[in-house]
Amino acid sequence: MTSVPPPPGSLLAARDLRKAYGPTLALDGAAFSIHPGEVVAVMGPSGSGKSTLLHCLAGIVPPDSGSITYAERELATMTDAERSALRRSEFGFVFQFGQLVPELTCVENVALPLRLNGTSRKAAEKAALGWMERLEVDDLKGKRPGEVSGGQGQRVAVARALVTEPRVLFADEPTGALDSLNGERVMELLTDAARSTNAAVVLVTHEARVAAYSDREIVVRDGKSRDMERAI
């Protein structure tokens, strides 16, 4: 099931991914592909390797073997610095928690990726405020992450992930720490915003109602992936 070449026109595609952490095999021949503007949910039981798949796809963790191509470039042949630059400019990230810098205000947090790319503080914070408006958290700009609620914090995190207008947005359990109402609102805003910029979204989740915001679903079990669209 894994040796099938990725469908043409994929923005990000992976084949035969293998990754071991010590004796545990986190990925065992997983495959993945996503088109621009597509939202793909990666589901599976905990410990199945879905987070590892996301880390590999995002170039955070190099796989032991297999290939990952992003916009026809092979990630394995890129240096760490090049991959970091790629993550800075082309990718965005939302995690479950622990991602906002507690000392910075919300708007500074959102502006951070732009500033890392060399944008001036003023321009970065202006753009940041624009995204915060779209995610309905612009009134929090001067507050620190410790002073806002979980749902608000997660929206700030989404704004931060989108502020560089990435081509791929990686979201790892973005609603994991939220109640269903907040979670749904975050998902709505996230997918709306991503679609408006034609960003692809890799959405790791174990919640079906979150996965229902996707266009397509991939299930990871024991390090192997299964494309549910083709299973039918």
Partner 1 sequence: MSARQWSRDLAMGARFACTGGREGWVRMLLTAVGVGLGVALLLLTTALPNVISARHDVEEARQDYNFATTIRPKADNTVLVGSTDTKWHTKDIRGRLLEPEGPRAPLPPGLSRFPAKGEMVVSPALKELLASDGAKLLRERLPYRITGTIGNSGLIGSQELAYYAGAEGMVPRAGGARVERLDAFGDPHPTTEKADPVLLMMTLVVFVVLLMPVAVFIAAAVRFGGERRDRRLAALRLVGSDSRMTRRIAAGEALAGALLGLVVGTAFFLAGRQVASSVEILGESVFPSYLNPSPALVALVAVAVPASAVLVTLFAMRGVVIEPLGVVRAAKQARRRLWWRLLLPLAGLAMLYPMVGNGRDSGNFNQYLVVGGVMLLLVGVTALLPWLVERVVARLGSGAVSWQLAVRRLQLSSGTAARMVNGIAVAVAGAIALQMLFAGVQSQYTKSTGRDPSRAQMEVDLSDHTQVALAGKEFKRTKGVRASVALSTGTFSGQRRDPDTSVGLTVGDCAALQELAHLPSCRDGDVFALSNPDASDTDYDAAMRAQLRPGRHVYIDPTYSDTRGREVSWTVPAGLQQAGARKDSLENISGLLVTPSALPAKAAPTLSRRVLVRLDESVRDAEEHVRNTAARLDPVADTYNWTAIEQSTKYTSLRTGLFVGAACVLALIGASLLVSQLEQLRERRKLLSSLVAFGTRRRTLGLSVLWQTAIPITLGLLLASTVGLTLGAVLLKMTATPVTVDWSSVLSMTGVGAAVVLAVTVLSLPPLLRLMRPDGLRTE
Partner 2 sequence: MSIGHTLLGLLESGPRHGYDLKRAFDEKFGHDRPLHYGQVYSTMSRLLKNGLVEVDGIEAGGGPERKRYAITDAGITDVERWLATPEKPEEYLQSTLYTKVVLALLTHRNAADILDTQRAEHLRSMRILTDRKRRGDFADQMICDHALFHLEADLRWLELAAARLDKLRAEVAA
DSSP 132-181: HHHTT-GGGTTS-GGGS-HHHHHHHHHHHHHTT--SEEEEESTTTTS-HH
Q: How far is the CB of 148 from partner 2 (least distance, A)?
A: 25
Q: How far is the CB of 161 from partner 2 (least distance, A)?
A: 21
Among 112, 211, 223, 224, binds partner 2 (CB under 8 A): 211
Q: Which residues form the interface with partner 1 (CB under 8 A)?
A: 21, 51-52, 55, 58, 60-61, 81, 84-89, 91-93, 95-99, 101-105, 108, 112-113, 115-116, 121, 144, 146-147, 160-161, 172-173
* Residue 91 contacts which entry, partner 1, partner 2, none (Cβ below 5-8 A, type-dependent): partner 1
Q: How far is the CB of 206 from partner 1 (least distance, A)?
A: 12
Q: How far is the CB of 114 from partner 2 (least distance, A)?
A: 29
Give yes or no for residue 226 binding partner 2 (CB under 8 A): yes
Please choose, out of 60-68, 101-109, 162-170, 219-227, the segment that lies near partner 2 by the rule CB under 8 A. Answer: 219-227
* Cβ-Cβ contacts under 8 Å for 106 (sequence gap 6 or more): 100, 132, 137, 140, 141, 142, 143, 144, 145, 148, 156
Identify the burial level of 137 via C-beta atoms within 10 angstroms of its C-beta, where 0-12 means exposed, 13-18 middle and 19 or more buried. Answer: buried
- Give whichever of 138 and 184 is closer to partner 2, judged by the CB atom: 184
| Angle in degrees, CA 188, 134, 33, rounded to 5 | 50
Give yes or no for residue 45 binding partner 2 (CB under 8 A): yes
**Local structure of 11: helix, strand or coil:** coil
Q: How far is the CB of 209 from partner 2 (least distance, A)?
A: 5
Q: Which helix (H) or strand (E) holds 232?
A: none
